[in-house]
Chains A and B, each alone.
Chain A
Amino acid sequence: MSSRTLDVSDLPTAVLDSRSLVWWGTIVMTVIEGFVFAITVGAYFYLRTIASQWPPARTGPPALTAATINLVVLFVSAIPAVALDRAGLRRDVRMCRWMLAANLAFGTTFLVFRIYEFKALRCMWNSHAYGSITWTLLGLHTSNLITSLLETAIVLAYFLLRPVEDRHYLDARLDGVFWYFVVVTWIPLYAVVFLVPRLH
């Protein structure tokens, strides 16, 4: 009998790393989101190739101040994300709470500056194709940002209100991982939206 069975009762019932199912799900989701960005960037360069002027002369290149400040905010926000990730791994409930809150604060700050970034484009989505595609890029990233903020808020609420189990530490870590994605995607998108229009 014993040679015909495989006993798994000694295996752990929760892992907080890349072996877990939710981790894989999160990665698949970021691949999908990443590819939406890639296609949109492709469309941006396609439109740029056929345009006689990019951006159109009446609009001119976007202002850099707000976007560059925001880039710095985003870089700094990676610090609480890393701390959150590690606190989740250590199952440190207090630290998780603080870092979730810090994440929320940084994300909200970023969102506020985002408004000025839209203004810095110096055109509307319905001004011309250049306006449409840059608003699309910025809009897509903003929707990721809002999703991430909501996720953070829900996980934080859970950490404050309910007894935290292993699964929730994993969620806290994944919240940090998704924030990495928001940060990492913004670097090329910043270059495309704010720097490429200055190339000639």
Chain B
Amino acid sequence: MSAPAWEEKERAELARTWHEREGILGRIVSVDHKTIGRRYIITAFGFFFLGGIEALLIRLQLAVPENRILNPDLYNQIFTMHGTTMMFFFAVPVMLGLGLYFVPLMVGTRNIPFPRLNAVGYWFYLFGGVYLYLQFLGNGGPDAGWFDYVPLASSQYSTGHRVDAWVQIINFTEISALIVAASIIVTVFKQRAPGMSLNRIPLFVWAMLVSMVMVIFAMPAVIFTAGSLNSDRTIGTHLFNPAEGGDLLLWQHTFWFFGHPEVYIIFLPALGIISSILSAFCRREVFGYTAMVLALVATAFLGFSLWVHHMFATGLPQIGESFFTAASLMIAIPTGVQMFCWVATIWGSRPRWEPPLLYVVAFFLLFLLGGMTGVMLASVPMDLQVHDTFFVVGHLHYVLIGGALFPVLGGLTFWFPKMTGRMLSRRLGFWSLGFLFVGFNMTFFPMHELGFHGMPRRVYTYLPDKGWNFWNLVSSIGTVLLAIGVVLFLVNVLRSLYRGARAPQNPWGAETLEWATESPPPVYNFLRLPVVASRSPLWEGKELPVVTGLALDRREVLVTGALDGAPSHREEVPGPSPWPFVASITMSVGLIGSVFNVWWLPAGFVVSIPPAVAWYFTEEKP
């Protein structure tokens, strides 16, 4: 069966208009949301492996008492690098990548609105990470923990450039997150397929939207915080210096005003992934759409009013602490609503127990435990008892690995056919999940027990008579199983890339628009943009209506109304350009140089002007 003549012609023309060049140069100038999204995901996993190796080193050191494999100084660097890498260079960017790749496909458009800016975002993320690891290799890795409390992180107690490096990489990651947030927010509000009113957006897209709005409000706090520590350390301001009227707790307030929402920025997209997988494998819409959306929004609001629960041990007034206890407990309500909606979705359906769905089940179990210990920690007396112990380490890993890594791996298993055109091996999928699940629990469950027995976090070793030996050894052995699970997942991905079965357009029979185009999608995403009339357009049982009349000879997207998704106008989005890359380099050099001499910052700004001008003057050229 050959395609009709008009289809051949339109495909050829679209492919020419949206063409992405091959080779190194082509990669540098690329502005396609799928290319950049995929890059984010791959790079994030690169950092995930580095952070994982650091985790293995930490567990190797703590496996037995009085171990001497790592010295205290290196240990400090390694746990700081582990936290920084996993939070800033894995968890957030992998979500940004998934959002960049799938949101435009799910809402049915051709590209994001600010593709060149988006390229800058990726380069910043990459350069920041590379710089961090270069510092680390030169024995200059940050060593004051991933939240760098002052006064430890002040110039008085942290000499040299270790903490300065940390402060700068924060700038890199926050800029990249803000750029992606702006791109995704505008895509969701203005580029949805005709007919996709706000109440028909897929839940994953809702989750990304809410999460990106949180980025907009959380990142400014860390811009202020990191900028202030930077100026305290380099040009002698006194914002965190009590001797001159500054305040140490100001750091904790502004850091956690960013840091706590950061957890939800990571967690909300994971919830969206869960909903996507559940509806596909239970073959029904997720129960309680409105309640689900409201729960996401409520989580975002509450997420900004809990930061003080990280500071219960700082001696704040009790009345204030009670407020934050109440807020911290309340966040269990929207999370509970979602849990019940998911259970109701599975209830009475005929779920297909494929690997992605099993990841969801693992998420339920692990996140439930992490959530429970979270509720425990929200209570001030309990928190004071286990503050800065391994109980907290256990809790946060249940929340972040159970609540984000498992959904991400499930999501990648789910979407791998769409992204690559190949199916992952089912058998290897079960095995890797098995190792991950057992290894994870073996590693982190004992940490709760260790915390109860008073083992503090961030100590490089412990004495043999503390009673901590057994559980530490168990935990370290668990890490090996966990690592095997990760390696199996990687093997599965690499093998399937070349030898996996060919994936059809919609292998799981799912309902959302990303499955309405080829696997992998062509560079222009859809031959003709779809028109939708329900929340589950692919389950309508008939062919989707489509948009015609969009220009084929220029990179045109359809702009629709923010609320109702009614077509408003057509707009051209910019094509490939080398200037974002050049501007990223000049600005990065300025930022990194300022670690060593503050004048690099204005210098970097000035040399970035010519690429910015060139960028603007070449915007209309493909």
Contact = CB atoms under 8 A, between A and B. Distances in A.
Interface of A: 3-15, 19-22, 24-25, 28-29, 31-32, 35-36, 38-40, 43, 46-47, 50-51, 56, 125-133, 135-136, 150, 154-155, 157-158, 162, 165, 167
Nearest to B558: A8
B244 A32 contact: no
- Name the 3 nearest CB pairs between A and B, nearest first: A9-B549, A129-B245, A132-B237
Interface in B591-619: 609, 612-613, 616-617, 619
Contacts of A154: 612-613, 616
B270 interface: no
27 contacts: A4-B546, A6-B548, A6-B567, A7-B548, A8-B558, A11-B568, A13-B571, A15-B568, A19-B568, A20-B569, A20-B571, A21-B557, A25-B114, A31-B216, A32-B216, A35-B217, A43-B224, A43-B228, A47-B239, A47-B245, A125-B235, A128-B244, A129-B245, A136-B227, A136-B239, A155-B616, A167-B620
Contacts of B254: 39, 43
A178 B347 CA distance: 52
A5 B254 CA distance: 52
Contacts of A56: 245
B504 to A, nearest CB: 23
B161 interface: no
A22 to B, nearest CB: 8
Nearest to A28: B182
A13 B246 CA distance: 54
Interface string B540-551: 000101111111
Interface in B307-348: none
Interface residues of B, number: 64
B7 to A, nearest CB: 13
A56 B253 CA distance: 24
Contacts of B216: 28, 31-32, 35
A20 B559 contact: yes
Given A36-B220, A132-B239, A24 B190 contact: yes
A5 B545 CA distance: 5
B609 A14 contact: no
B483 interface: no
A8 B113 contact: no
Contacts of A36: 220, 223-224
B503 interface: no
Contacts, number: 168
Nearest to B616: A154
Interface centre among B113, B224, B543 (most CB of A within 10 A): B224
A interface, by DSSP: helix, strand, loop or mixed?
helix
Nearest to A53: B245
B146 interface: no
Nearest to A124: B236
Contact of B190 (A9, A21, A150, A165): A21
Contact of A126 (B237, B247, B572): B237
B238 interface: yes
Contacts of B191: 21
Interface string B119-154: 000000000000000000000000000000000000
B186 A15 contact: no
B355 interface: no
Nearest to B221: A39
Contacts of B556: 13
Contacts of B244: 127-129
Contact of A14 (B190, B221, B569, B617): B569
A5 to B, nearest CB: 5
Contact of B219 (A12, A32, A51): A32
Interface in B49-77: none
A47 B250 contact: yes
B547 A6 contact: yes
B433 interface: no
A19 B559 contact: yes
Contact of B231 (A38, A43, A50, A125): A125
Contacts of B543: 4
Interface string B236-272: 1111010011110010011001000000000000000
B19 interface: no
B250 A11 contact: no
Contacts of A158: 616-617
A60 to B, nearest CB: 15
Given A8-B549, A21-B186, A32-B219, A136 B228 contact: yes
Interface in B537-579: 543, 545-551, 556-559, 567-573
Interface in B520-547: 528, 531, 543, 545-547
B189 interface: yes
A87 B617 CA distance: 21
Given A158-B616, A165-B620, A6 B531 contact: yes
A55 B257 CA distance: 26
A68 B224 CA distance: 27
A47 to B, nearest CB: 6
A126 B235 CA distance: 7
Interface centre among A29, A32, A50 (most CB of B within 10 A): A32
